[in-house]
Copies of this chain bind each other. A is one copy, B any other.
Amino acid sequence: MDPVCLVMGAGAGIGGSVGKRFAQGGYHAVLCRRSDDQGLQRLVQDIEAEGGAASGFLLNAAEENSIEERIDAVEKEIGPIEVAVFNLGAQIGDRHLADTSYKAFELGWRLATFALFRFASAIMPRMEARGHGTLLVTSPTAAVRGNAGQHSHAAAMGGRRMLCQSLNAEFGPKGIHVANILIDGAVDAPDTLGKLLGPEEFQELRRTRGLENDGLILPERVAETYFHIAGQHRSTWTHELDLRSFSDRPWWNH
């Protein structure tokens, strides 16, 4: 039985590419996303066409028990989750405080922080019982600095980052690798950046900065680093690393 790589947030960007990469590396990729069943099935078929194993599930992470039941079912029906990738985003664009409703603020937390807590609560005990496992978390720049307009996003992602640290502190010594991967730049991803910008602006950005100039982070390249981190020997683990295009300014430079 193949080890399982479960991806929470497996859209057409980083999550889907990470699933593919682990499938190429011999994992059964279990892909979970909120919507677009067609896109999900296409992803599963792509992996299977390459000779890999994959399953896809639609799942609303904000819904009670959705994450927990999926993890239960995967462990029972597919196999032990060896690598768990938490890749849910919660970017809602820049909004003034006055335009950030309580509901939007809470939803940011539900998706970005609380969903990771639920995810970890369901998976870590199983990994602990097995004595090994890997939890890879995707974080945006907002996890390390709060820009104007990012009230909901920054608060939620700052919480996510600290949770990664407390999970690592408890579970690292038990043989479970927790890594926080900071995506510090624009990703060439139709499901997130594409939706934020709209189709025309997105294609223009891809044309000018991205495909010709490597100025957008390419999801399939990100996936290589996720795969490397998951393969690190336990004598030599990375907890946090950043990723951006060569032409992007790191968050700390003006």
Interface stretch, picked from A25-33, A77-85, A196-204, A212-220, is A212-220
The distance in angstroms between the C-alpha atoms of A105 and B162, with both chains bound, is: 13
Question: Across the interface, do A146 and B125 meet the contact criterion of CB distance under 8 Å?
Answer: no
Query: In the assembled complex, which residues on chain B have CB atoms less than 8 Å from the CB atom of A125?
Result: 97-98
Q: How far is the CB of A126 from chain B (nearest CB, A)?
A: 12
Question: Across the interface, do A238 and B235 meet the contact criterion of CB distance under 8 Å?
Answer: no
Q: How far is the CB of A90 from chain B (nearest CB, A)?
A: 12
The distance in angstroms between the C-alpha atoms of A145 and B250, with both chains bound, is: 10
Question: Across the interface, do A154 and B162 meet the contact criterion of CB distance under 8 Å?
Answer: yes
Query: In the assembled complex, which residues on chain B have CB atoms less than 8 Å from the CB atom of A231?
Result: 224
The distance in angstroms between the C-alpha atoms of A170 and B97, with both chains bound, is: 8
Contacting residue for A155 out of B151, B154, B162, B236, CB 8 A: B162
A53 at the B interface (CB under 8 A) = no
Interface stretch, picked from A34-42, A55-63, A116-124, is A116-124
Query: In the assembled complex, which residues on chain B have CB atoms less than 8 Å from the CB atom of A188?
Result: 235
Question: Across the interface, do A169 and B114 meet the contact criterion of CB distance under 8 Å?
Answer: no
The distance in angstroms between the C-alpha atoms of A3 and B148, with both chains bound, is: 28
Q: How far is the CB of A18 from chain B (nearest CB, A)?
A: 12
A16 at the B interface (CB under 8 A) = no
A130 at the B interface (CB under 8 A) = no
A195 at the B interface (CB under 8 A) = no
A88 at the B interface (CB under 8 A) = no
Question: Across the interface, do B250 and A168 meet the contact criterion of CB distance under 8 Å?
Answer: yes
- Enumerate 11 A-B pairs (CB-CB under 8 Å) in ascending A order: A98-B121, A102-B117, A113-B155, A146-B168, A151-B170, A154-B162, A155-B160, A158-B159, A218-B236, A221-B236, A240-B241
A residues within 8 Å of B by Cβ?
96-98, 100, 102, 105-106, 109, 113-114, 117-118, 120-121, 124-125, 142-151, 154-173, 175, 177, 188, 214-218, 221-222, 224-225, 228, 231-247, 249-254
